[in-house]
Amino acid sequence: MAAERISTIYRHINGSNKMRDRPRDKHGEEEPNVPKRRQEVVKWNGWGYKDSQFVADLDQNVIHFTGTRYPLGNKKLPLFQLWAETVLGVSKDYYCKSQAEIKNEVLPTPLTNKDFLEDLKIVNISYTDEPQDRLFRSHGQTMREIFMLREGTFNRIPDLVVWPTSHDDVVEVVKMANKHNVVIIPFGGGTSVSGALECPEEERRMIVSLDTTQMNKILWVDKKNHTAHIEAGILGKDLESKLAEYGFCTGHEPDSAEFSSLGGWVATRASGMKRNIYGNIEDMLVHVRMVTSQGVVEKNCQVPRISCGPDIHHFILGSEGTLGVITEVTLMIHPLPEYKRYGSIIFPEFDAGVSYMREVAKQALKPASVRLMDNEQFIFGQALKPEAESLLTPFVDVLKKFYVTRVKGFDITRMCVVTLLLEGKKEDVESLEKKLMFLGNKYGGLSAGEENGKRGYLLTYVIAYIRDLAFDYGVFAESFETSVPWDRVLDLCRNVRDRILREAEVHGLPYQPFISYRVTQTYDVGACIYFYMGINTRGLPDPIHVYEELEAAARDEILACGGSVSHHHGIGKIRKRWLKQSVSGVGLGMMRAVKEYVDPNNVFANGNLMI
């Protein structure tokens, strides 16, 4: 009896199914998934892989996307230049090339805590103070941060980078940081869009960037309970690839899934494109370990629900590196879907599309992803269509356009599109597709086909690359998001757009801003709305200031319309001014009380949230 019980407990702790061996190199060592010198693979001053980018030759009227990683790779985009010139005022006469590098001698000299370094050597944890490694971990992906990399540098960057390879390594580093009064800023994928990774300029203590990406193992998979225990530094694409070997997935697909880390998802309360059926990160989370200055915080069991006071997981979710380092996470996992199908529906106007989205949520229809794009994004999507590979394609497109605009009477300047992704058993997917299409017809929609749905879904992964090209021609662009009740979706979208246009006039912008929005996630009581904004900064003496003033005005309008300060990007530093308004003075005090107890020496002094 005792032996049986011990066996049960062992399976519970270690998972019901042992993991396969990880790939090993010729020396028998486990191959790293992410190189320590990340800048050798991804851009140091922009988004994504070094071999993937939009390239323009405006003299030849050609823009194309390089590389073979994405479906758009090595294809010409014949309409993109015309769109950029017409909508954004882009001109070949104005070109702002990024600096080639930031030289080591320009970067801040590291502050050194010799006692900390001596202890670090004893525990044999890898580290470096190499300038370019420090620079790479000094920022995230906000527009301001990338502009600084292109045009200047940062006044404060980490003094040291450490690479722990396990939970126990992190425990040692945090102990040493407390002992020697050193600051720790956790670093995962580096995709933050809230300024969360920037070093506070006034910090005079040694700052250590604790890079978690060498902690990237799946420790166990429990096929009976559909859970997996995973180190927090693993990147999204690697996590899904490894789980797929066992016939499972998490279903969590944020736009940054290729580059963002599991720990980062938890630390920002992330959401993904397929949350309809898989949930947000808080819905997937079964168990989490976090190393704090006071020790390790975690629950004593891995159960679907527990009633024992306020949920400590919700102290950790969204903590943005202010309380400790997330080291290990147990997630709910799902069998890989048997069948996938894409779809798309065009509607005569945005109002009809919103009504459709509301009804989809009300009827509890569950496509993996359903997203509504306004007319500006619809036109933008057409501009990103690659050159036709068949002589028949342009002819067919003309016929489709004729049918939609002339026969059905859609106004091409008002129409919008919904893209769909359905996953599950084949019969369930086909049944759901019929219901979704029937509902689309009810609200005046027309099926736009599977290929358009697939292309729209996959474009998500390349849109972020456009900002780097936009910078080259003086266009500053960024996205921001919110969540809002259903009855305020339309008013919020229109009011935010109008507010930005008014502010643009006040600041004397030479061209009207590009403003676009889409409904990306649906809930019973509301939706997530994503905004895209781009401004042509030619002639502006301080373009960063102007852009940030416009975005701040947009955020003020969002809150005035009943929207949230953020749906999933988090607070970081750039949205701190709205935190008290969002959670109340008492709520902010509660956050600070937790911070004071958990981190009395302010080791995790990144300046985010309540700090």
Q: What is the pLDDT of residues 323-347, one digit of tens each?
A: 999 999 999 999 999 999 999 999 9
- Overall residue count recorded for the chain in this entry: 611
Q: Which of 251, 246, 264, 317 is nearest to 287 (CA)?
A: 317
Confidence of residue 391 (pLDDT cuts 50, 70, 90): very low
pLDDT at position 405 is: 65
pLDDT at position 176 is: 98
Using the predicted structure, report yes or no on whether residue 557 has a pLDDT greater than 90.
Answer: yes
Catalytic, 530? Answer yes
**% of the chain beyond a pLDDT of 70:** 91
Using the predicted structure, report yes or no on whether residue 351 has a pLDDT greater than 80.
Answer: yes
Torsion angle defined by CA atoms of residues 7, 11, 17 and 23, in that order, rounded to the nearest 10 degrees: -110
Q: Which of 537, 432, 431, 530 is nearest to 193 (CA)?
A: 530
**Mean pLDDT in residue range 570-597:** 97
Using the predicted structure, report yes or no on whether residue 575 has a pLDDT greater than 80.
Answer: yes
**Mean pLDDT in residue range 434-462:** 92
Using the predicted structure, report yes or no on whether residue 83 has a pLDDT greater than 60.
Answer: yes
Query: pLDDT tens across 282-312, in order?
Result: 999 999 999 999 999 999 999 989 999 999 9
B/e letters for 523-544, b = 16+ CB within 10 Å, e = fewer, are: eeebbbbbbbbbbbbbebeebe
Using the predicted structure, report yes or no on whether residue 27 has a pLDDT greater than 90.
Answer: no
Using the predicted structure, report yes or no on whether residue 587 has a pLDDT greater than 50.
Answer: yes
Using the predicted structure, report yes or no on whether residue 459 has a pLDDT greater than 90.
Answer: no
**Mean pLDDT in residue range 501-526:** 95
* Residue 136, H or E segment: helix 131-136
Using the predicted structure, report yes or no on whether residue 456 has a pLDDT greater than 90.
Answer: no
Least confident stretch, 340-349, 392-401, 420-429, 449-458: 392-401
Confidence of residue 5 (pLDDT cuts 50, 70, 90): very low
Using the predicted structure, report yes or no on whether residue 396 has a pLDDT greater than 80.
Answer: no
What value does the CA radius of gyration of the chain take, rounded to a whole number of Å? Answer: 25
pLDDT at position 1 is: 47
Confidence of residue 457 (pLDDT cuts 50, 70, 90): confident
pLDDT at position 92 is: 87
| CA 166/CA 164 separation, integer angstroms | 6
Using the predicted structure, report yes or no on whether residue 95 has a pLDDT greater than 50.
Answer: yes
Using the predicted structure, report yes or no on whether residue 51 has a pLDDT greater than 90.
Answer: yes
Using the predicted structure, report yes or no on whether residue 22 has a pLDDT greater than 70.
Answer: no
pLDDT at position 231 is: 98
Query: pLDDT tens across 225-265, in order?
Result: 999 999 999 999 999 999 999 999 999 999 999 999 999 99
Q: Which of 457, 465, 530, 532 is catalytic?
A: 530
Residue 584: left (phi > 0), alpha (psi -120 to 50), or beta? left
Per-residue DSSP letter, 245: T
**Mean pLDDT in residue range 373-381:** 93
**Mean pLDDT in residue range 65-81:** 92
Confidence of residue 531 (pLDDT cuts 50, 70, 90): very high
Using the predicted structure, report yes or no on whether residue 525 has a pLDDT greater than 60.
Answer: yes
Using the predicted structure, report yes or no on whether residue 383 has a pLDDT greater than 70.
Answer: yes
Using the predicted structure, report yes or no on whether residue 397 has a pLDDT greater than 80.
Answer: no
Using the predicted structure, report yes or no on whether residue 71 has a pLDDT greater than 70.
Answer: yes
Confidence of residue 406 (pLDDT cuts 50, 70, 90): low
| CA 416/CA 376 separation, integer angstroms | 8
Query: pLDDT tens across 478-493, in order?
Result: 999 999 999 999 999 9
Query: pLDDT tens across 106-150, in order?
Result: 999 999 999 999 999 999 999 999 999 999 999 999 999 999 999
* CB-count burial class (<10 Å; 0-12, 13-18, 19+) for 226: middle
Using the predicted structure, report yes or no on whether residue 10 has a pLDDT greater than 80.
Answer: no
pLDDT at position 510 is: 87
Q: Is 225 helix (H, G, I), strand (E, B) or coil?
A: coil
